[in-house]
Structure 1
Amino acid sequence: MPVSSLPALLGALSLPFSLQAASTATPPFDLAGRTVVATFQGEGAQIYACKAGPDGALTWTFREPVAALIESGKTVGRHFAGPRWELEDGSLVQGKMAQSQPGASVQDVPLLKLDVVSHEGHGRLDGVTAVYRLNTRGGVLQGACTTPGAMQSVPYAADYVFAW
C-alpha cells in the first residue's frame, strides 16, 4: 500500500482517545549514547485474527500493525507487518523486538525497543540501529473470539523514535 493512501484508510478509524504530542516524561528505555534521528507519531490500528491455540481454544492473536507515521501534521511514512517502517523518501527499516515494558494502562499496547535487522532504500532511516515505540495509547483487543478466521482492528497511537 503506498504511503499516500494511508490517510484515507486511517480516516475511517474512530480513535477513542486523545492523540497528544510526544510526552516529555523520561523514556522507559536507556537512550544513553544514542543519537535520535527522527521521531514520528504513529496513528492506526493493531490487527488481530481469531485462531485456535495449541489447546484448541479460540483466542485473539496479534497479526500486524497498520499505521501512518506523522511529522508536523503531515503523513511522511507508514508502519506495517515485519515490523517495518517506510518513509516517503524510500528508506525502510525492519525491526526485531529486543525489550518490552507494559503500556500505561491495560488498554495500551506495550512500549518496545526494537533492534533494526535490515535496511532498504536510502533516506532519513539510513544507519538507524534501533526503533522505540513509546507513549502508546490503545491497541489492545479485549473480549473473546468465537469465529475462527475473524479479524478485528483496534485503534492505537504511539510515538516512534528512530536512533543509532
Structure 2
Amino acid sequence: MTMALVRAVVLASFSLTGSAAFAAGPLPDAVAAPGESPVLSVHAEGVQVYECKPITDGKLAWSFREPIATLIADGRTVGRHYAGPNWEHVDGSAVTARTAGSAPGTTAADIPWLKLEVIAHRGNGLLSGVATVQRINTSGGELSGACDKPGALKGAAYSADYVFLRRD
C-alpha cells in the first residue's frame, strides 16, 4: 500500500468515527463485527468497581460490580459509561448492551476485550442506530488480591476504546 493510500484510509476512518480508536492488529474473532460500520469511536478513562462477596467455598473474593468511566473524543468529554452496561452520549442518545463475545486483554491486569450486543436505545442522536459496541485496547481494570469485609467496594483504574457500530 502506498503511503498516500494509507493516509487516505486513516483520514477517512478518522472522519467517520470522530476519533482514532484502532486495535493494534486484527480484532479477535470473538469481538469482530463483520458487516457493521463504525458510527463513533471514543476513549474511556475510569474505574471498574468490585465488591467483596462470598464465593462457593465460603471464602471472600472480589466480584465485578460496575464500570464508571468518562468517554472522550478529540480531547472532549462526549459521554459516560456506567452500570447496565450503559453508554450515554452528550446528545442525549444512549444504549444498553449485553456481552456477545470476549477475548483476553493483553496482560493479566487488563480487562477482556468485548463485543456487546445492543438491547435497548434511548433518545435520538448519534447512538440511535448502534447495533454493537466493541471494547478494545484495554489497559488495567482487573482486581487481584484478597478481600476480608463482605460488601466492601474497591475500584481498579482502567482505560479502553469503545467502538459503536451499525449494521451495513
TM-score, length-scaled by structure 1? 0.85
Counterpart residue number, 1:144: 146
- The answer to whether the Cα contact below 8 Å between 1:41 and 1:160 also exists between their aligned partners in 2 is yes
- Runs (4 or more) in structure 1 with deviation over 6 Å come to none
Match of 1:49 among 48, 51, 54: 51
Match of 2:66 among 64, 67, 78: 64
In structure 1, C-alpha distance between the alignment counterparts of 2:22 and 2:45, rounded to whole Å: 13
Show the 5 A alignment for 1:2-151: 22-28=22-28, 29-151=31-153
The CA RMSD measured in Å over matched residues stands at 1.4
Secondary structure, counterpart of 2:125 in structure 1 = coil
The alpha carbon displacement at 1:149 in A equals: 1.1
- The answer to whether the Cα contact below 8 Å between 2:32 and 2:115 also exists between their aligned partners in 1 is no
TM-score, length-scaled by structure 2? 0.83
The alpha carbon displacement at 1:24 in A equals: 4.1
Counterpart residue number, 1:160: 162
In structure 1, C-alpha distance between the alignment counterparts of 2:60 and 2:32, rounded to whole Å: 38
Gaps of 5+ in 2: 1-20
In structure 2, C-alpha distance between the alignment counterparts of 1:43 and 1:27, rounded to whole Å: 21
The alpha carbon displacement at 1:31 in A equals: 3.0
In structure 2, C-alpha distance between the alignment counterparts of 1:31 and 1:51, rounded to whole Å: 34
Aligned identity (percent) is: 49
